Structure 1
Amino acid sequence: MKIENPWKPNPWFESVAVAQERARRRLPKPVYGALVAGSERGQSAADNQAAFAELGVSPHVAGNPPERSLATRVLGQEVALPVLISPTGVQAVHPDGEVAVARAAANRGTLMGLSNFASKPVEDVVAANPRTLFQMYWTGDRDVMVERMERAKAAGVIGLIATTDWSFSVGRDWGSPEIPEKLDLKARLRNAPHVVRRPRWAWQFARAGVPDLTAPNLARRGEEPPTAAPGGETPAKPAHGPAPTFFGAYYEWMTTPPPQWEDIAWMRQQWAQLGGGPFLLKGVSRVDDALRAVDAGVDAISVSNHGGNNLDGTPAAIRVLKPVADAVGGQVDVLLDGGIRRGSDVVKALALGARAVMIGRAYLWGLGANGQAGVENVLDILRMGIDSSLLGMGVADVRDLTPDDIVVPDGFHRSLGVPAATLVDASA
């Protein structure tokens, strides 16, 4: 008979906060520090979470629905719950990285977002979750960007995410963790004091083979194969060239002029010509930007301040959601990305106009705490929280939520960039 060890910690956790604490204890300090992120004083990153606490709900005590539906349709896809995986960069918290996250999302019936700064190739991630959205920054020239779109489409992604809101305002009052360009001997010795304090994490990566910090999805297409050898066989053309380092990819982004609205329209057009499916613009905070995005032909927008990694002082995403959703929600899918830590947060976002939410740090805490199972754990926590919120509020379907279900304090919403003509019409 097998006897369970009573001192072995339970791998299951009951909240995202517990997942974060387990990830903090398990990850080397620089790795954890990179996840906490937030630019400058971290004002926007903190407000993303704090703003949800200002919102209340209106419960019923009887007549509540015995069954609730959490399923919805977003970006042309049926999902089991209104929570999608937001793309995040190199996921060095676990050796399986984005592949583990993709599997978890597939197992819970939702969509995977993959960054082009990811640590795993798009082909591997799509194999783990066929319902993957590929995210691109505006980096490189147009030929390079088309090449990346073609690769993503060939891999089988179902849609494209264009992220254009990441600014250069990244200085942190508490200091930024060092990210080595290459994990050579010098870098490993320098980081050894942090790594030896986290032996389980180190052993897990050692078994998998310690990778360099590269961005495989930014690798250029392979060179043409050489001419046929005397034997008549032509060597196979490599699918892609060497992957740039994370800093090489970052340098390409820094040296690319920022996109204009005609560039967004061009990206949408190129993706459509490839038959690539829905096109989502991520990072919208202003009403005028949302309106311009619709004019550019996008299918969806994500209201987001890049997890507080954009300009510090940008209002929390949930504060700017309703004005944006009121302006364009009838024309495109509106999502919210930023500060989601519990199911009630999801419910509040849906009530204020979001079709679904995207999560970032929440699933990274789960990945750091317990790999794929940890990500599934986080999605289960959010599912249970959504369901219990619907039960208490007397709402049978997530699609039935309205602003009347939420208690909103005066002055909560931030209406940024509202066109003057709209203000005049509203006051008439």
Structure 2
Amino acid sequence: MASTREWFESVAEAQRRARKRLPRSVYDAIIAGSERGVTLADNVAAFSELGLRPRVAAAPAQRELATTVLGFPIPFPVLISPTGVQAVHPDAEVAVARAAASAGTIMILSSFASKPLEEVVAANPLTFFQIYWLGTRDRLRALLERAKAAGVKGIVVTLDWSFATRRDWESPFIPDRLTLRNMIKLAPQALARPAWLWAYLRRGKLPNLTVPNLALPGQRPPTFFEAYFEWMHTPPPTWTDLAWLRKQWDGPFLLKGILHPEDARRAVALGADAISVSNHGGNNLDGAPASIRVLPVIVEAVGGQIEILLDGGIRRGSDVVKALALGARAVLIGRAYLWGLAANGEAGVRNVLELLRSGIDETLLGIGKASVHDLGPDDLVIPPNFSAGLSTTVAHWRCRDPSSHPLPL
């Protein structure tokens, strides 16, 4: 169907609408990556290198898209990846949770979210909670207890975020608090996007820059950067620490940020139920390969002992099919649904999810497959040395202006 005011035909269109609606700093916060943005761009470019093998008169009239992730049935293999404070829309994570619930899929809530996890679980009972290794073991144990009391279905531990000050690719100014001085500084941007500003003002609020899910009992919620400061000053976890954390949670347990086969094997050994092959959307170690490039070697390393998800660069249903063909159980999306949220709130997130669902179905039809469970590497055209490293195009990319970016972010 053609794009209308209430419907966009592609994730790229959602991105264009988000860019027109959001203040520059808010939009830049979504598209920014670490250092030169090489990994950020390679996440998308790598999918473009993979071809599909079309078949005709081979697929049934109805294709099977449903799968299970960590024991939970979902109608198609796309999950909501955790992202921090979602200032793109006043309803933020609650709107995303409702859209995911409407689609029947899993919502993974960031511990750095702007909405309390209890509200998000109420909006989508199929909610997982994402945490970092932050603070003391007692602090982490209390966080898990709150998650369990709220009805969270599983825990996602993010390991692919290690930088402190290197997010310099188009990195915007993000205030710690909306003080009078900061509001004056940001006012021209907000006034230039009246629809975004009005969405907040008509609810009688300003963007929430606190993270309520990291609040200690009896204390006010920390700001994003207060929590970030605590994380920066917590020694990074060892595999022994992660094994301890696994023992504190008796439900589904996923490690996010695996890019090395030895790390995948260690995840299996400590008892993780699943891993996500991820480079934090290009927001961590710049120069790391795209997630899809290392997926095959991770799949080979774990030998079916653990469920494997993929996070990074998903922009269309055919990307999902390519990830599944290389061994992923399902994928997680981040920027794509944030653009949908910015473009049209909850309906925009539903729009993105429907685009991916229908794109998966159409791709299965095009390659003559009856089910997502029938996919394999033979359905793809894989160039030589695909997994060897960054693409030539991305490795020589030097563009600094996201508005003229030669590759779709």
Q: Compute the TM-score of the two structures, normalised by the length of structure 2.
A: 0.93
1:210-235 Cα deviation digits (max 9, x unpaired): 1441000000123xxxxxxxxxxxxx
Matched, 1:335 2:309: yes
1:151-201 Cα deviation digits (max 9, x unpaired): 011000000000011021653554421111111211111101101100000
Which of 201, 209, 230 is 1:213 aligned to?
209
Query: Take 1:143 and 1:194, find their aligned partners in 2: how far apart are those partners?
Result: 42
Q: Which residue of 1 aligns with 2:337?
A: 363
Q: How does 1:11-410 map to 2 (within 5 A)?
A: 11-168=6-163, 170-208=165-203, 209-222=205-218, 241-272=219-250, 277-410=251-384
- Alignment length (residue pairs): 386
CA shift at 1:9, angstroms? 5.4
Name the amino acid aligned to 2:268: V
CA shift at 1:310, angstroms? 1.2
The answer to whether the Cα contact below 8 Å between 1:42 and 1:172 also exists between their aligned partners in 2 is: no
Greater relative contact order (Cα < 8 A, sep 6+) = 2
Query: Take 2:26 and 2:166, find their aligned partners in 1: how far apart are those partners?
Result: 17
Name the amino acid aligned to 1:177: P
Query: Take 1:47 and 1:93, find their aligned partners in 2: how far apart are those partners?
Result: 25
The answer to whether the Cα contact below 8 Å between 1:65 and 1:396 also exists between their aligned partners in 2 is: yes
1:356-401 Cα deviation digits (max 9, x unpaired): 0000000000001000000000000001110000001110010110
Query: Take 1:190 and 1:10, find their aligned partners in 2: how far apart are those partners?
Result: 32
Query: Take 2:244 and 2:275, find their aligned partners in 1: how far apart are those partners?
Result: 16
CA shift at 1:206, angstroms? 1.1
CA shift at 1:37, angstroms? 1.5
Secondary structure of 2:255's match?
A: strand
CA shift at 1:62, angstroms? 1.6
CA shift at 1:270, angstroms? 0.6
Secondary structure of 1:282's match?
A: strand
The answer to whether the Cα contact below 8 Å between 1:169 and 1:310 also exists between their aligned partners in 2 is: no
Name the amino acid aligned to 1:390: L
1:8-37 Cα deviation digits (max 9, x unpaired): 952200000000000000000000000002
Structure 2 spans left out of the alignment, 5+ residues: 390-409
Query: Take 2:58 and 2:164, find their aligned partners in 1: how far apart are those partners?
Result: 50
1:58-107 Cα deviation digits (max 9, x unpaired): 11122322110100011110001100000000000000000000000000
Structure 1 spans left out of the alignment, 5+ residues: 1-7, 223-240, 416-428
Query: Take 1:346 and 1:19, find their aligned partners in 2: how far apart are those partners?
Result: 18
**Residues 290 and 174 of structure 1, relative CA distance in 2, 3 Å threshold:** closer
Name the amino acid aligned to 2:356: L
Q: Which residue of 2 aligns with 1:419?
A: none
The answer to whether the Cα contact below 8 Å between 1:323 and 1:414 also exists between their aligned partners in 2 is: no
The answer to whether the Cα contact below 8 Å between 2:317 and 2:360 also exists between their aligned partners in 1 is: yes
Secondary structure of 2:222's match?
A: coil
Secondary structure of 1:413's match?
A: helix
Name the amino acid aligned to 1:28: P
Q: Which residue of 2 aligns with 1:227?
A: none
Q: Which range moves more in the overlay, 346-355 or 321-330? A: 321-330
Query: Take 1:72 and 1:9, find their aligned partners in 2: how far apart are those partners?
Result: 31
Name the amino acid aligned to 1:247: F
The answer to whether the Cα contact below 8 Å between 2:100 and 2:107 also exists between their aligned partners in 1 is: yes
Name the amino acid aligned to 1:279: F
What is the percent sequence identity of the aligned residues? Answer: 65
The answer to whether the Cα contact below 8 Å between 1:169 and 1:312 also exists between their aligned partners in 2 is: no
Secondary structure of 2:387's match?
A: coil
Name the amino acid aligned to 1:195: A
The answer to whether the Cα contact below 8 Å between 1:170 and 1:309 also exists between their aligned partners in 2 is: no
How much is the aligned-residue C-alpha RMSD, in angstroms? 1.3
Query: Take 1:131 and 1:391, find their aligned partners in 2: how far apart are those partners?
Result: 29
Name the amino acid aligned to 1:242: R
Name the amino acid aligned to 2:103: R
Q: Which residue of 2 aligns with 1:225?
A: none
Name the amino acid aligned to 2:261: V
Q: Which residue of 1 aligns with 2:399?
A: none
Name the amino acid aligned to 1:370: N
Secondary structure of 2:343's match?
A: helix
Which entry has the higher C-alpha Rg, 1 or 2? 1
Q: Write out the 4+ residue segments of structure 1 that deviate beyond 3 Å after TM superposition.
A: 172-175
Query: Take 2:260 and 2:64, find their aligned partners in 1: how far apart are those partners?
Result: 31
Query: Take 2:169 and 2:153, find their aligned partners in 1: how far apart are those partners?
Result: 39
Q: Which residue of 1 aligns with 2:394?
A: none
Name the amino acid aligned to 2:345: G
